[in-house]
Amino acid sequence: MVNTKVELCNITLDNPVIPASGTFGFGYEFAELYDINCLGTFSFKGTTKDARFGNPTPRIAECDRGMINAVGLQNPGVEAVIANELPKLKKCFNKPVMANVSGFAVEDYVYTCEKLDKEEQVGWLEVNVSCPNVHGGGMAFGTSAEAAAEVTKAVKAVTTKPVIIKLSPNVTDIVSIAKACEEAGADGISMINTLLGMKIDLKTKKPVIANKMGGFSGPAIKPVAVRMIYQVYEAVNIPIVGMGGVSSAEDVIELMLAGATAVEVGAANLIDPFAARDIVNDLPGVMEKYGINNLSEIIGGAH
């Protein structure tokens, strides 16, 4: 009998499969389709201090081997998430959940994380530093080691739960940013967020997405994810939550061999709502195929 359990920041997961933020809502929508307790956990919809309507439409574009999205962090705001979304989730999910947090100033992150840290259901805070820093000229916090470290330090000062910093791949040196987050107190690194992409409509001769550019995700980005996870694993001593183009149990194992402790499934959920469940179900058979008895023993196995 194979063992699919892994430990993420001192919390045991039944398996490493985690639906990624923005692709799984607040969980209860998927709970109408299957028992979501089969998952390791999931990362809920990116939450900001205040409610956000998001970007103008169209904000989704299909591409070869992937998709571009510019949803713009549409969410009801942290107070509404705590008051309305978490109680609904509690009825259908009995495991700790990963709270995904976004912000446009350091104070935003601090406020939202401090609120969510007090919620019993929240096991980890996944802090997305791929947002534009409104006080820093609009560059994403995650494109600067100093800015990413500043957010990490500020959030760690007001929280007790594990803080996992979600990094942007749209940088020349992701390793230095991961190391800066670790030095600032991060308990884990989550990577990679979407690559910046664009699609032009040949008939209108204009960008398909109203925002012009958006986050490119899907199977096409997996080799980039594997490479970046591999690099960061060599440089830090904190766990990595890997993601980027994952759509099968084989993909989960590949990212774990590169250095991921747990693996998020993103765009695949939007193509098939049962994708994460099916990956969980397929995992033991794929482990047996490749002679793996204990999943936690293969983390970083390719090094």
Listed in order, strand segments (DSSP E) in 155-221 are: 163-166, 188-191, 195-198, 200-201, 206-207, 213-217
Question: 39 with 277: CB under 8 angstroms?
Answer: yes
Question: 221 with 264: CB under 8 angstroms?
Answer: no
How far is the CA of 222 from the CAs of 98, 154, 216, in angstroms?
22, 31, 11
How far is the CA of 180 from the CAs of 147, 163, 176, 189, 288, in angstroms?
9, 14, 6, 11, 38
DSSP H/E element including 283:
helix 275-289
DSSP H/E element including 25:
none
The token pair at 72 is 């713009």
Coil/strand/helix, residue 30: helix
Does the bond joining 58 to the residue before it have cis omega, within 30 degrees of 0?
yes
- Look up 9 and say whether it is catalytic: no
In the set 38, 113, 131, 181, the catalytic residue is 131
Separation CA 253–CA 246 (nearest Å) = 10
Residues annotated as catalytic (active site), given as ranges: 131
